Structures are given as C-alpha cells and as structure tokens.
Structure 1
Amino acid sequence: MNDDFEQLDDYAILGVQPGATPAEIKQAYLKQISIYHPDRFAGASPDEQAYAARRARRINQAYQNLRRRRPSPVIATSTPRNYQAELYAKAQEHLAAGRRLQALATLRELQRINPWYRDCADLIAGLEADLKPTAVSTSRTFSRRNVLTVAFGGVAVALLGWFGWRQLQEAEATRSPVATAVAEEATAVPSPTVAPSPTTAPSPTAAASPTAAPSPTAVPSPTAAPSPTTGITGGTVVYQADFGPNSDWPITNGNGWSVGARDGRYIIQANAGLGDIWAFQTSPIGSEMVIEVEVSVAGDWAGLMFWFNSPQRYISFLINPAQGQYRCDERNNEQRSVLAEGTISLARSNRLTVRLTDQTIALQINDQVVDTLTITSLNPDPRYGLLVRAERNPTTATFSTLTLRTIT
C-alpha cells in the first residue's frame, strides 16, 4: 500500500521552502514529529499506529537529509577594485564641489583607460568649453590719472612681493628638510599633464585580481601517464543535480558576478578580470568518483573544479571554445601550475568527464580522453564544483546534466 506522503520530497514532508535556514528546518521538524509521534497514537487503531510510525520515520529521514544537504556557500574570490567606476565617482565629486579643473583631469585619465565609459566624452567636451578662455574686447579709454594709479599700484605690489619673498626665504632657512618634504607631500596635487599616456595606462581588463593571477607558467607534470585508449566510464549514478526550483545548489550574486539554477540549468556569470567564480558541493561517496557535466561557454574559460582543499588550493579542468583549447591546472594561492593543456575541436555544447581514483585524474572531452595525470602535490578531497574563469572577457557558462557515478 502506498502512503500519501511517499511522493513528497524532504522539504515538503517538513513543510518548508527550499533555502530555509537551519533554524527554520529544525522548527518545522519538531512540529511535524510532534504530530505523528507514535506515542500520540497509543489508543488508535493498528492501521493508524502503523501509518504514524512510517510517517515519523520519513520525517526523521527528511530532517537528517536536509541537515547533511544544506548547500555549501559560494566561495568567490575577492572582488577587485573597479578603477574606472572610482575615477568616474571622483570626477563627479569634483563637479559637485565646483572643482572643474580637477574634474577635467580625472575624466581625462578615465578616458585614456576607456574612451567609451558612460558619458565621459560628453563631460570632457562640456568642461573644456567652459574652461576655454574667451577674448575680452573693450572700448574703454584710460585717463592719464588711471594710468598713473595703475603704475604706482604695480610698484607698490612689487615692493610688497619682494618684502614677502625675503621673509619667506628667512623662514625657509630655519625649517628642517624633513618638515619641508612632509609639507610638500601633503599639498602635492597631480597635474593632468603628467597623467599616464594611453600607451602606458593599465588596461582595465588586466587589473590585478586576487584570483586573476599572472598567466600560469606551463610546467609538465613529472608523473603524467600516457593517455588511455578507451573512454572514461562510470558505474552507478549516485547523484544527479536538480537545477530546477528545488535545486540544492546556491543562488546568489556579487559585484560583477552571479550564480544560480534556472530552467534545469546552472548559470555562472562573471565580468572581465574577476578571475575564478564557482559554486561547490560535497560528494556523497568520497573523493573517488566520476564527474560528468554538459557545459556551453561564451567568453573565456569554464568547466569543473575538484579536489577542493581550500579556496586557495584546488584543481580545475576548463575549456575555452572560442580558442579551441582545454587546460587542467592546479592553484596554489596566487600561483597556477599547468598540469595539462592542448587544442581540441569543440562544439557549442561540450561534455566534460573527470575520473578521480586515488591520486590519478583522467580527463575526457566529448568521449575523447585528452590526458591522464598522477598528482602527488594535492590531497584528494570529496568537494567538487562548477567554475568560470573570466580573464579578459565577460564570461557566461551554462551547465546541465551534472551527474556523479561510482568507479567501475
């Protein structure tokens, strides 16, 4: 006999929405178990007692599942400074305070970096027009008295200036060199004429990012084994991601990036220069498994992340369809070591497969094994994830049919 609650998922059996907090889940569990606890049916019929026992077991099972399956938080690299936005905001502050010269200098610096940034060009044109000197003509004739007055006034000003200069020279003679340097440093204002030229200004997409480390130096793995001749196969499916309304993968966003499930797919977006953005989970069968996912990429790199020891220590297997390349590299803080890379024919959507056994990693793209590696520098870890690496271009990756299988 089928019970009326057999088709309910863990959230529905407890009466909570996906994304509920641990406190809300616990409160809902206590409420449900108090309703169907077998002790409350001591005087009921045998069928009612059996039903309450089965439902109480299902409630306990759901509570334990949700405690274990709470989505792991998204680990994102520190967001780099948006230098262009900072310059634009600084120029707006100068304009609001009436400092038009400073605003013009700041906008010119921004224009050297990105000539098309917002209304930068229009603001510069307006400021240059306002600050352009205009010829002033006058038909006023000065009388002899006015000329003499101006002449005597000029002599007086010159004498006062000379006297003031002498006083300053005597005062400067008594000041220490250190105090002078500090005063000059405190009052120094960069001149717009010494701003970096367009050829020396840093590219906005090459700005330093905590995760956009310098281009990795290719170092061949000393233990790389020859590629096998047969494709990667897996055993029983132990997990298949649900990227629908009840997805256990996180949905969140930050400054220039977002992750989330929609319509059976998981989408990660990142602006240019942000580096690695990912979401991860923990395998229910440990670190030995076969991971498989379909991915389509627009922009730079995207793929799988595994052996996630920490936010600064993990391995990634990525593809770049625009360049027809794949890469497997190991991150160690801000350094990356390339373990395998090459060129390959890629379609609009591609299937990536990774088999993890002990310290051996087998990599496959669209049923073609591209490399097999033996890694001793990093400990196997059951945590894995989906990753986008936006280096020079905005990047969007769409993932689907993510499965975990046992090793055959």
Structure 2
Amino acid sequence: MKRGIASRRVLLADGTVADTVVTIEDGAISAIGAESSGNVWDAGDAWVLPGVIDLHGDAFERQIMPRPGVHFPMDLALQDTDAQMLANGISTAYHGVTYSWEPGLRGRESTLKVKAAIEAAKPRLGCDTRFHLRHETHNLAAEKEVLDWLADGTVDLLAFNDHSHVSLREIEQNGKSTATYVGRTGLSHDQFMDLLREVCGRQPDVPASIERLSKAALDNGVALASHDDDDPDLRSWYHGLGCRIAEFPMNTPTAEKAVALGDPVICGAPNIIRGGSHMGTRGVRAATEVKEGRCTILVSDYYYPALVQAPFRLVQDGDCDFATAWGLVSTNPARAAGLDDRGTVETGKRADLVVLDQRNGVPAKVLATVVEGRDAYRTAA
C-alpha cells in the first residue's frame, strides 16, 4: 500500500531540511517531494527523520533481572524492551549480550537463552532486533562456540570486552564492592575473587584468541568493535585486525588515535543527557567528545530514552548542528554496521523513520516510529 508523510521539517540525506512529502511503498521510500497517491499523514511541523539505530543497548538486562536474583521470562522481557525502544524512536537495535567467564546473568547458560529468545522473538518484534555479542576476551572456553555462531550468521556485531583486569584493579586497589558481581553471579565474595584471579591468569592466551575471532568475523561479514580501549596502541592493534569500531575509548589520546585511523567512535547518549559519565571524573564528557570531533556515534548503552533525546540536547547546548547531531544516531551507526539500506531519508532506502514533536524543546515527543514502512509505534500528537 502506498502512503505518505508530509512535514515542513524533513531531514534529507544531504543534511538539508525540506517542506515535502515522503512516499512509502513496499517497505521502502519510493519518492520524496512528489504528491503521494495514497493516504497522506500531514505531520505539520513535526520532524520526519531517519529511524534511530542503536548499536549498543543492554538495558534489556534489567527486564530479565530487575533485581538481583529475580528473573522474568525472556520472551516477556524482550517484548517489553521492544515496546520501550519503539516508543523512543529506535527502529534498529543491537542487543548487547555479554558472554562472560562469569556464571549467572552473563554466563553461558544465560547467553544461550537470550540468543535463542531473540531469534525466536524476531518475527513478533516491531523493532529490527539484532544480536550484538559482547565477548569477554578471557572467556577462552567460549571461542569455538563463538566461531560457530559467526559462521552460521547469528551474530550481527562482535565486540571485544575485557572487564577482568579492570575489575580486579578496582576491587583490590580502589576498594570497590563486589556486591554487584555477587548479586549477578550468585557466587560469594571469596568465590568470585578466586575466579577473577584465575581468569586474569589467562592473559597470555588472549591475543591469539582475539586474532582468530577477528578473522572469522571479517570472513563472515560481521562488524567488529573493541570496548573501553585505554591506550592508543591498543586501538591501533585492534584496527590492524579489522576491528574498526571504538566503543567508549577511555581517554582523549585513545579517541584521537581512533579518529586519526578513520574509525567510528562510540559514546553513550545517557552521558549527553546527564551532562557527564556515570563513572564521574574517570569518564569522558560525551558532549565535549562530539563538539571536538572525537565521537561519531551515540548509543543507548543502559538507558533507551536517552538516545532519541541526545541530538536535541547537543543542538540546544550549541555543541553541533542538527544534521550532525542526528547523524550520530542514524547515518553513522548504519555505515559502521554495514547497513547500507537505511540511516537516511532517501529514495530507495528502507522506510525506517521517526516522527517527532519537538516544539517544546527537550524532551521531544515521539509521535511515530516506522519500521520498514509499518507504523510500529504511533500515538496522538
């Protein structure tokens, strides 16, 4: 069925804003500017924008385990997560599933359940939901399994994480509590610390494992990211392996190295909304990273509503222009993930759109989220 959305504020692929009609047919944008022969929704002054693409969101973990040790069915958790994402303009989402050496929420059993639940739920979900495997590099026992997943096409994005040494340093040197780990893993404090020290001892075998996994990902067309890089040389090493997305670089020199290499750099949208990192002075200020050119992609991280609001906050605070700001949540993540069919309002692209009322500033109100031509979410103006 052919239909159209008319608006005085349509953000086009070249960054200009037009008073025009976007015509949708067979799940794609069939025309821009011509009058639609089907039904036309006159959205007035509401923004018509490319749908939000979230490359890294793990807030769904709270739907699965809202309190330590309290579990809910994964199909229900994914359904509730889907509704929240669509209500916040997200049309493509990569669920960040951590496959760790830990038992419990991030262990093998839970990872397999989440992975299977996502695959089973996809036909019923409104958002184009994908599997972002956050592989803990010291989880060496999982390598063969991850290689199989890369080969069978069930991983859409592979990120390398190493929280082992950071966790050990923060606990032993900085006095960080193990309460979160204990609640998440079901281990006692002593059991967790024994496991953590054993895991850190695996370091000599980790680089070769990363190299094998990187090659397999590239061979199978899977985008690669590294998480929390804290050294420019480490980013260069990952870049050399074909791992081109830098997730949350921990300091300015590392982010600058990523930019110099031409790598997309991810920061968190919650950081924009809150005005700084949840890590306090140890974290970067994402708005500054955007303003100074060291951040090219924003993600929801742990809070889905922040992603659709962050571009407006950046513009409001004078950190960048609107086309640049919206590109952080649409065009740029699409390119980084190899999604050539979406990310811009352009003839021939997937009709993944968000319609936003932003007359009253921030927060903007999502009026509709269109996924492949369907109104996956729509509310009254």
More relative contact order, 1 or 2 (CA 8 Å, 6+ apart):
2
TM-score interval (norm. to shorter): under 0.3
Q: TM-score, normalised by structure 2?
A: 0.20
Structure with max Cα Rg: 1
